[in-house]
Amino acid sequence: MQNQDLIELTKELVNGLFSVQVACIEWNQSSFQSHYKQQLPPFLTTQQKDKMAERITTLPPNLSVGHYKDSLSMNYVTFSCDQDQLVVLGPYKVQRVSQETVQDSQSLPSHSLPIYTYLETIPICQTTDLIFFAQTIIRKVAKTETDYPVVYYHLENIMDIPKDDRQQDEIESLIPLLEQRYDLNNRLLLEVQYGNVVKAKQHFQLLREQLKVIKRNKSPIRNKKNLAFVFNTLLRLSVEQASVHPYYIDKISSHFATRIESSTSVQAIEELEFKMVDDYCRLVQQYSLKDYAPIIRKVINYIQIHLSDELTLEQLAEYANVSTSHLSRLFNKEVHESIPNYINRLRAIKAAELLQFSQQPIQEVGEYVGFYDINYFTKIFKKYYHVPPVQYRKEHSYQ
């Protein structure tokens, strides 16, 4: 494996396992200082960032690991596999930092809230884990079992940010952090609106770190529940923009509201929030009608909600207030499927779900989705799943 391949693997694994940023920069002091300044809080002035970066005066030797800790208690682990590239893991912190600690420990007490807000966005990770990771990569490159040395650099022992008369006041300092939070929130909701599960979860992971700073109730679990309720509402509004029928939105929103209130720990709510992102995205994937004409949206919603009822072209045309020929032609054009085939396919999909997750008799499953003739049900089901319902249940049942 080439060095560049190892670096790409490092980026993927470190970010995936520890949520820590990985950067590959030129192996020189100036490049590291420039990269370091980009990680500092946005409300610090250029002069303050320059002074903090000037404390980086040494890089670790080639085939060694460096650990840097700065005056904000932010950490970085660095290593190099050659004299051209320096790999930087970080920033990260090793433990949660309270607002009181920030206020007591640094030289800008009036800016404790924006500093604390910034630090809450930094992931928590153990230095030993990242050092072990870096040494493993170096051993792979050097083709040896020897652990290479670790060099520790303490840029400052206490929180000491250089003072600057041009420093913004506390409210101004919070603005870029708030803008960043709202930007993440908007990007998350946009991905949900389009049903992009992976990107939505990535944005949510970043957003959740920033939301940790919001404490509007003394009880941690009550505070977390309140934020989760707000999040549930935002997800619901996002899905509405995807033209998902309110019937489905209300169903999933009510379900999660009940689960949030019945949760007994902060961890349980955090796990539930990820499921909320996942389920709302999949709701869009399954039920979004935003690309269809209003008439087709109306008809499809009616079909989905009344799937177990008798559905005819004449009935649907009357509901949509159009002729049967116009509805049939428009439906085929937009959905690329005839109305009878669309209804049968949806019924087969719903039947497959029931066969997997319930123990209802086959006859009842068919009737539940609108097939009142067991032979016709079997014929249509085999068309889409290539086996009869009884065999499908044997092969896919979760019971």
SS3 154: strand
Torsion of CA 91, 25, 174, 265, to 10 degrees: -30
Q: Report if pTM > 0.75.
A: no
Smallest CA-to-CA distance from 20 within 102, 134, 156 is with: 134
Sign of the torsion angle spanned by Cα atoms 306, 307, 309, 313: positive
Alpha carbons 399 and 390: distance in angstroms, whole number: 14
312-370 per-position pLDDT tens digit: 999 999 999 999 999 999 999 999 999 999 999 999 999 998 998 888 999 999 999 99
How far apart, in whole angstroms, are the C-alpha atoms of residue 235 and residue 229?
10
- Give phi and psi for 275, each to the nearest 5: -65, -35
- Tell me how far apart the alpha carbons of residues 29 and 39 are, in angstroms, rounded to a whole number: 16
Rounded to a whole number of angstroms, the CA Rg of the chain reads 28
Residue type, 343: I
Q: How far apart are CA 80 and CA 61, in angstroms?
A: 8
Structural domains for the chain: 3-168 (no CATH), 171-287 (no CATH), 294-396 (1.10.10.60)
- The answer to whether 153 touches 66, Cβ cutoff 8 Å, is yes
Question: Closest by alpha carbon to 96, among 118, 62, 119?
Answer: 119
| Nearest to 91, CA basis, from 34, 166, 23, 144 | 23
User: Can you list the residues of the chain whose pLDDT is less than 70?
Assistant: 1-4, 6, 99-113, 156-178, 209-217, 398-399
The string of pLDDT tens digits covering residues 81-122 is 777 889 999 999 998 777 666 665 555 555 666 777 788 778
DSSP 290-311: TTS-HHHHHHHHHHHHTTTS--
Tokens for 213?
Answer: 């700073």
Q: Rounded CA gap, 127 and 158, in Å? A: 18
pLDDT at 100: 66
